[in-house]
Each structure stands twice: as structure tokens, then as C-alpha cells.
Structure 1
């Protein structure tokens, strides 16, 4: 950490405020070597904790800097490790709660940028939104400042809808690009706790489509493990003659000019509506996933019955599923 960075951070911490010029100075000194060092990341968090007001310029810098620190520091790059997740949760939760909307935005941006994050960090992020909804307090209320909602009770704000959508549909969620069982059950808990409240207009659409996604979406994507990603990185970065020889042998093999089509089959890219080169009937898999199984039906019935009534959002969900099944 440079002397200039340390001095700027210490002065802003003492003042409890930071100017746009000082933030520019932190950007210049913090990224002078193209990376954020551990000591700099710690200093940024300490400064964030002591600011009386977190401006938009500060929030942008804070989110970008800590995301860069964690993503670039992953092994391999983009794979957030357990130790990194523990550090982040400890910094966010140092006083028992997330204190600002910028910190929730940090989690959302990290999920957007990272290749993989530990399950505990995903669960922690969703728990912050659930707690804010159920208690009516937190950084998503009153324009991002801590405090009670105008209603003084459980409701779902537009900010919470936006964050929920980003968390559950992120590439690093429990079900990449889809909605997992745990996420769907959390949405049902929020729905039951906020029935009749002055919820955000987009909440009903988010709830219905997210739960339907869990039940009916075709999503069999599996993320690479960190070990597999490291092996692929090593292979692709191999500049030795044997890599060129490998492709040369492939070009001279029996595949001949049809190498591209054969590769499509090996990788699982077939024409829609027909079995691909790997022998998988993708159209059949999609159709099967869209049908509600007996197990899924039993789970759905249990969730709907949890509050002992068929409420308006339950009805909207069941109508949506019925229409989707009819095609």
C-alpha cells in the first residue's frame, strides 16, 4: 500500500467523509500497479465503516475495488475461495449486520463477475434480504439508510426485488441461470410474510416466474470446479509445440473437413428438436423438464398449504404453470 493511499484513507477516516477528489486519488494510487492489495482492501473496508455519508462516487469505488480484489485474487482467477468468503462475511458482518446498500450491491456485483463463489456466501447474501423484508429494517429501506419501513412491518421494496432477482438468477447461484429449491422456498417464506402488504409492483411477477422457473426450466448446466478450471487454464496457456501438434493431428485424422460438426457433437451442441452427436435428445430433455413431476407437485402443494390458504399469489403461480404446461 502506497504512502499516498494510506494517507488519503486515514484522513477520510478521521473526517468521516470523503470527497470526489480523494476518491480519485484512491483510484489512482490503489490501482497504480493494476491490482488491489490485501492491505488496501482492508483499508477500504475500514474507511467504509467510518464514513458518515456514503456518496454515489464512494459506493461505485467501494464495489469496484473490492470486487476486483476478490475476483483477481481467486485461484484460478474468478473462483472465490472459502477463505476469501470468510474474510468478506467477517468484514460485512463486523457489527452483526450489513450496514449499507453499497455492501449489498457489492455482493450482487461479485456474483455477476465471479465464476464461482462458496455456498455460504450465497446463503449469507439471500439471508440479508430476507431479514430486511421480515423485520422491515435494514439498508434497503428509507433510500438505502438503516431504519424502519414506512409501514413498520414486513413488506418487499423495489430495491429488495432488484437484489433478489440478481442474486437468484446470477451465474454463481445454487442453480446457475435458474432458481434452486432453497431459493424457491425462501420466496415462498417472503410471500407468506408479506401478504396484503404494500409490496413493490414487480414482486408478484418475480415470485411467480422464479418459482415456475424452479419447477419447469430446463437447466442442467454444471459449473466447472476450481481444479478443472485450473487444468483448462494450464492447457490453453500451453505454448509448447505439442499443443500445435495436437491440433495438427486432429486435422489429419479421419474427421477430415467434418471436424467442426464432430466437435459440435462431442460438446453437446445439436440441432434443436433432434438428438445431437452425443446421443442426447435435447428436445426431449427440455420437454421432460417442463413437466411437473409427482415429487415437484408434492413440494408445491406443501408450499402452497404452508399458510393455510390459497392466496392471490398462489393462484397466479398455479395459473402461470397451467398455461405453460398447455404450451
Structure 2
């Protein structure tokens, strides 16, 4: 497949087009051996960089091929490591800008599909969208041409998908970075004709940060996932057999094991922890006051936000 990718990249550099037949050949060869290598994924980015137009069929292929490499080429599956995140960002940011929606969609789908991704990958997408909103240029705008500063429907969709993605800060959990970004966008576009969906995203995102609850252990790091994969693959280890043997040969050991593996003192359950986590802390209240006071006035969206937080208890 690699040779075919190289040849196709050279032809695309000449005419800037990938024909339907060429795309079909890439699909057949790409998944013919059941995996996408780094060299092949880089070839996909190289082709994307020189295309005159990137239709839905090409975008779908790019998203699938690059995602397959990042999330499934190495163990553990569905985990994006720091190295892989750096690689993706370097491929997209090679010329300092995100050139196409295909590139953005590729990263967004990785974040959505992954069980966990480094914060840098999620933050990179959010920073790109914020820059495009404030500059009025970029792939989230129609054709990429300059347009008035505002938040488009496409940008709202990307922001919502990334902020609430399972591979971000936590499953459907909004971080302080996300919430402050939403406030910056609101302040900069308050008088603009933003997409209808924007108000709900701002309210949902900031209230989630203020009252959200992240379950401890809901996500594990890439390093911990590797350790667990190695442990499960180690056929020389049998925890159950070890405990049974130890208890048989030394009954007093069972008493010690009972202290470790047996009943423990009652701990707060999920509902109790969620209720406690949903309370607005002094820190969160101080943070909200600073964000609201930043521009010297309380605007309509901020009033609605405060009303929602109060209404939700």
C-alpha cells in the first residue's frame, strides 16, 4: 500500500485531485492487511495538503485512515499517547494553520472515539476554533474566506463535540480551560449574529464546569492502560490461584487477605459523591464572579447562566 500512496501523492501534487477509483483503491489496499502504518497515515496527510477540493468521500477516508493508525496501530487500543498526539498536531500544523475541515474533523473524531487523549490534543482544536472565530477566517467558514467575527453553526458543533467528548477532560466533563474559552468567545461576540445553537452551548458548558461531577477513575492514563494490558497478557500471573494457595498453606494469611480484599468501611456511594461534587464551591463561585465582572457588566447570557445555576440548586 505504501508504494501506491507515494505514487498517488505525486499525481495529486500535479493535478490536485483524487478520483473515485483512486480513493477506492486506497480503501482496498489500506485495509487489505488490517492496519494503517505511520508512513501510510503521513501519506494521507500529504495528499490532503495538495488537494484542490476535499469532498465528503475524501474526508471520510482521511478520518478513518488516520484514526485507525492513532487509535488501533499500537496497544492498548483506543488510547492516544502523548507521542501520537504530538504527531497528529505536527501533521496538521506543519505550515502553522489548519487548512481544511478534513484536518479538524480527523482530530475531533479521534477525541470522540478515544477512551482517553492528552489534554494538548483537545486544547489544540479549541484554540484553532477560537482563533478562527476571532479572525473571521479558517476552514470553519464557508470556503475559508474572510467573514465577520461571529460564532458559526459549524464552530458550535465542533466546540460541543470536543468539550463533551469521552476522550477529553472526562466523559462529558467540562474543564476550567473550556469554560474560560467559552467566556472569551462570548465577550468577543456578544453583539454579533452568532448561530442559534451558541447560547445553549455557553450555558451547558459553563454550568457543567460549575456543577459537574467527574467520577474518580472514569478515565485512566495511557501509561496505566499499558500496564493493565501487559498484566492481562502475562500468562505467568494468576491472582486467584496465588490467593487460594496462600490461604491453604497458611490459614492465618487469609485473615490478612481479608483485611485487604474483604469488607471495608462504608464509603460514600456514587449518588452521594455526585451530589457533593455538584455543589458550587467557594472557589467556583469566586471564579464565576471574576469571569462575570471581567467586562464590567452583567449581560443577558450571564444572567441566564446565574439563573440556571440557582434553579438547579
Q: Does the pair score TM above 0.5?
A: yes
Alignment of 1:298 with 2:293, yes or no, is no
CA distance in 2, matches of 1:61, 1:247: 50
1:244–1:20 Cα change, 3 Å: farther
1:26–1:181 Cα change, 3 Å: same
Q: Which moved more, 1:114-123 or 1:21-30?
A: 114-123
CA contact (8 A) 2:111 2:117 kept: yes
1:247–1:146 Cα change, 3 Å: farther
Aligned residues: 302
CA contact (8 A) 2:164 2:173 kept: yes
Q: Which moved more, 1:59-68 or 1:238-247?
A: 238-247
1:316 to 301, 304, 308: 304
What TM-score, normalized by structure 1, do the two folds share? 0.84
- Deviation of 1:119 (Å): 2.3
CA distance in 1, matches of 2:2, 2:288: 56
Partner residue, 1:34: 34
CA RMSD of aligned residues (A): 2.6
2:274 to 262, 271, 286: 286
Q: Which runs of 5+ in 1 are unaligned?
A: 254-262, 267-276
CA distance in 2, matches of 1:163, 1:97: 17
CA distance in 2, matches of 1:217, 1:209: 10
CA contact (8 A) 1:13 1:47 kept: yes
Partner residue, 2:223: 227
CA distance in 1, matches of 2:99, 2:243: 53
The answer to which structure, 1 or 2, has the higher relative contact order (CA under 8 A, 6+ apart) is 2
CA distance in 2, matches of 1:2, 1:294: 57
CA deviations over 1:28-71 (Å, ceiling 9, x no partner)? 11222111112211111111000001111100001110111111
Partner residue, 2:180: 185
CA distance in 2, matches of 1:73, 1:317: 43
Secondary structure of the 2:312 match is helix
Secondary structure of the 1:54 match is coil
CA distance in 1, matches of 2:201, 2:270: 27
Q: Which runs of 5+ in 2 are unaligned?
A: 252-260
CA contact (8 A) 2:35 2:73 kept: no
CA distance in 2, matches of 1:130, 1:301: 23
What TM-score, normalized by structure 2, do the two folds share? 0.88
